[in-house]
Amino acid sequence: MPSISLEFFPPKTDEQRAQLDRAATALQAVEPDYVSVTFGAGGSTLSYTAETVQRLHQQHGFHVAPHLSCMGGSRAEIAALLDEYRAAGYRRIVALRGDLPSGMATPGDFRYAAELVRFIREYSGDHFHIEVAAYPEVHPQADDALADLRHFKSKVEAGANGAITQYFFNPDAYFRFVDDAQRLGVAVPIVPGIMPISNFSQLKRFSDACGAEIPRWIAKRMQAHGDDAAAIRELGVEVVAQLCRRLLDGGAPGLHFYTLNRARTTLAILDRLH
């Protein structure tokens, strides 16, 4: 059975909290293996991440995995969060470097995610199952694809148990990445991150920032629908469900959905898959 996990971001207002609750309630039907909650770089949403995982765990009954990014953070701050998460009974963490917010000068005590993974292992032993990020289309700051792959391997050697990829729309990039990682001796599961498409202009902005490529044929078909939100969503569901099917048929161990705190499109994709 492939694993299904869902990612949320921490809401900051009451309206956003209500939105999260609606999405979480609707997504109960999916019975995800766990849900994860993102972490704002530089500590800006530090407390919101902890508050949100608690909400998803206590009110909605999910197994949770807080994201923990080390950029801008000190060892003491990270140790305090690890203590808090351990005391709450959480068993999984998504460990990341994060990105330095503009205007922030100090990177903190850790430079790369591998250093954070090593620290979590030293500090908390085997308590946490650690997921790390992987980039089938290459991290935008990497010198080259091979260097990026070696850096990915170093996170696994530091103690990561699994990886979740940046989203992509080209399944060959994923299969190639998994093959290359396995050739280098990486044996942990690499779960593809799936971005449901509901708002195409927002997706384009995200993709430019994180280095995910939107294939020309998808962009052209989306543009042909202009402002017709329903047609864009329907095309998005069809394209992403087909991607998921190819990934699972090709041996992907699971799917991790970037829900953006909305249920409808993720549910429609999973419905199409079944």
Tokens encoding 179 = 């093959």
Residue type, 138: V
Binders of ligand FAD among 105-144, rule CB under 6 A? 112-114, 133, 139, 141-142
Question: Where would I find the beta strands (DSSP E) of the chain?
Answer: 3-8, 34-37, 64-69, 92-96, 129-134, 162-167, 190-194, 254-258
Active site includes 7?
yes
Sign of the CA dihedral 38, 222, 21, 161? negative
Tokens encoding 47 = 């407390």
* Residue 191 binding ligand FAD, by CB under 6 A: no
Question: Residue 262 has what DSSP assignment?
Answer: -
Yes or no: say if 34 and 61 are a contact pair by the CB < 8 Å rule.
no
- In whole angstroms, the minimum distance from the beta carbon of 136 to ligand FAD comes to 10
Among 35, 52, 53, 69, binds ligand FAD (CB under 6 A): 69
* Residue 67 binding ligand FAD, by CB under 6 A: yes
Would you say 144 or 227 has its CB closer to ligand FAD? 144
What are residue 162's DSSP bridge partners? Answer: 131
**Segment lying near ligand FAD (by CB under 6 A), choices 27-35, 76-84, 96-104, 169-177:** 96-104
- In whole angstroms, the minimum distance from the beta carbon of 99 to ligand FAD comes to 5
| Contact positions vs ligand FAD (CB under 6 A) | 38-39, 41, 67, 69, 94, 96-99, 112-114, 133, 139, 141-142, 147-148, 151, 155, 164, 166, 193
